[in-house]
Structure 1
Amino acid sequence: MHRSILDELQLHYHDLSQKEKEIADYIVQHKNSIQNMNIRELADHTHSSTSTITRFCKKIQCDSFVDFKIRLSREADKPSGDSNSFTKVQYIYNEIINSTTDMMHKEDFENVVQMIKNAHRVQVYGLGSSGLSALEFKYRLMRMNITIDAITDSHMMIMSAALLNENDLIIGLSNSGQTTEIIDALTIGKRNGATTISITNYKHTPLTDISDISLFTPSLHRMGDTHFINSQLAIIYVLDVLSMLLLNDEELYRKRQNTLETLFEKVKEDRKKS
Structure 2
Amino acid sequence: MNILVEIQKMYSSFSDKEKLIGDFILQQKENINNISITDLGAQTNTSPSTITRFCKKIGCQSFVDMKIRINRIKSDSNEQSEVSVFSDMYNYYSEVITRTKELIHKEDIYEFIYQLKNAKKIYIYGVGSSGISAQEMMHRLLRMGFNVQSVTDSHMMIITSSIVGSEDLVVGISTSGKTKIILKSLSLCKKNNAKIVSITGFENTDMTKLSHLNLLVYNTAFVDKERFINSQFSIMYLLDLISTVLLQDKDIRNTLKRTIDAITNI
User: Normalising to structure 2: TM-score of the pair?
Assistant: 0.92
Which amino acid counterpart does residue 67 of structure 2 have in structure 1? K
Displacement of 1:97: 0.8
CA distance in 2, matches of 1:169, 1:241: 19
SS in 2 for 1:123: strand
SS in 2 for 1:199: strand
SS in 1 for 2:73: coil
SS in 2 for 1:184: helix
CA distance in 2, matches of 1:64, 1:180: 37
Matches within 5 A, 1:112-191: 112-191=112-191
CA distance in 2, matches of 1:6, 1:238: 19
SS in 1 for 2:150: strand
Query: Is 1:31–2:29 an aligned residue pair?
Result: yes
Counterpart for residue 194 of structure 2: 194
Q: Deviations for 1:110-165, whole angstroms, at most 9, x for unmatched residues?
A: 10110000100000001111111111111111111110000110110111111111
Matches within 5 A, 1:262-273: 262-264=262-264, 266-267=265-266
Q: Deviations for 1:158-201, whole angstroms, at most 9, x for unmatched residues?
A: 11111111111000011111101111111111110101111111
Residue ranges of structure 1 left out of the alignment (5+ in a row): 268-274
Counterpart for residue 97 of structure 1: 97
Which structure has the larger Rg?
1
Cα RMSD, aligned residues only: 1.9
Counterpart for residue 208 of structure 2: 208
Displacement of 1:45: 4.2
CA distance in 1, matches of 2:6, 2:195: 27
Counterpart for residue 57 of structure 2: 59
Counterpart for residue 106 of structure 2: 106
SS in 2 for 1:228: coil
Contact kept, 8 Å, 1:28 with 1:224, in 2: the verdict is: no
Query: Is 1:70–2:55 an aligned residue pair?
Result: no
SS in 1 for 2:178: coil
Which amino acid counterpart does residue 239 of structure 1 have in structure 2? L
Displacement of 1:23: 1.4
Contact kept, 8 Å, 2:221 with 2:231, in 1: the verdict is: no
Residue ranges of structure 2 left out of the alignment (5+ in a row): none
SS in 2 for 1:127: coil
CA distance in 2, matches of 1:47, 1:79: 33
Contact kept, 8 Å, 1:6 with 1:222, in 2: the verdict is: no
Counterpart for residue 19 of structure 2: 21
Contact kept, 8 Å, 1:12 with 1:203, in 2: the verdict is: yes
CA distance in 2, matches of 1:221, 1:178: 15
Displacement of 1:213: 1.1
CA distance in 1, matches of 2:158, 2:42: 49
SS in 2 for 1:12: helix
CA distance in 2, matches of 1:60, 1:191: 35
CA distance in 2, matches of 1:253, 1:224: 37
CA distance in 2, matches of 1:233, 1:209: 24
User: Normalising to structure 1: TM-score of the pair?
Assistant: 0.89
Counterpart for residue 47 of structure 2: 49
Q: Deviations for 1:176-229, whole angstroms, at most 9, x for unmatched residues?
A: 111011111111111101011111111122111111111111122211341133
